[in-house]
Structure 1
Amino acid sequence: MADNSFDVINDYCCNACEEDNVNKEALFYCQQCSKGFCDKCIDNHKKLFKKHQPIGRKELNKWPVAKAAKDFLLNCEQHPDHRIELFCEDHKKLCCVLCHLHDHK
């Protein structure tokens, strides 16, 4: 049976599982460590870092912006591998270097 763990895209991934090439959803976030943890990994984190106060999904507003959301906002829609870096005054549009070269001279 094939491992399809990376077929699912989670908004927040467990950083500990990710290091083992496992894609599990983070249910907790530790601001001191700047890492997300799944339901299993949070137990080890709590044992190792007793003074840390991880926050759950109920306080998602305290979590950092998800990488997928950040990439969506910062990467060019037409060229997803390129960051938006420029603003075309003539077209009043944000664009990447490739857009600027091809469409906004």
Structure 2
Amino acid sequence: MAEKGSDLKYDFCCNVCEEDGVNKEAVFFCQQCSKALCDDCIGLHTQFFKKHVAYGREETNKWPVSTKLFEKLKFCERHSDHPIEMFCEDHRKLCCSMCHFHDHR
């Protein structure tokens, strides 16, 4: 049986491994390819794309915003089934309609 990687959820998964149904953490990102890569896949990437620059974890400012992080920001912290719908200027907080009604009128 083939190894499928970890059951952990990562901020960034290796896009190449994901295509094979394997869950591995990405530790590099190539802006030219728009691909996140694990320790194993970076070697082949470097061989095939010699002029591409892959940024490591120490340069995550050059990585895209994590889609998983973005998904978390879509819903209210207090009411996880309600989407964020507005920004309360007085409290400087993102809120859903429930929060707005109860706390931010």
CA distance 1:41–1:20, change in 2 (3 Å)? same
SS at match of 1:40: helix
Question: Unpaired segments of 5 or more residues in structure 1?
Answer: none
CA-atom RMSD in angstroms: 3.1
With over 3 angstroms needed to count, the CA separation of the structure-2 counterparts of 1:42 and 1:4, relative to structure 1, is: closer
Distance 1:94 1:59, change over 3 A: closer
The CA distance in 2 between the partners of 1:44 and 1:4, in whole Å, is 19
Identity %: 54
Does residue 21 of structure 1 match 2:30? no
Q: 1:31 and 1:50 mapped to 2: Cα distance? A: 14
Q: Residue 64 of structure 2 aligns with which residue?
A: 64
Task: Give the alignment of 1:33-44 within 5 angstroms.
Answer: 33-44=33-44
* Matched length: 100
CA distance 1:31–1:83, change in 2 (3 Å): farther
Output the CA distance in 2 between the equivalents of 1:4 and 1:39: 15
When the two structures are superposed, what TM-score results if normalisation uses the length of structure 1? 0.70
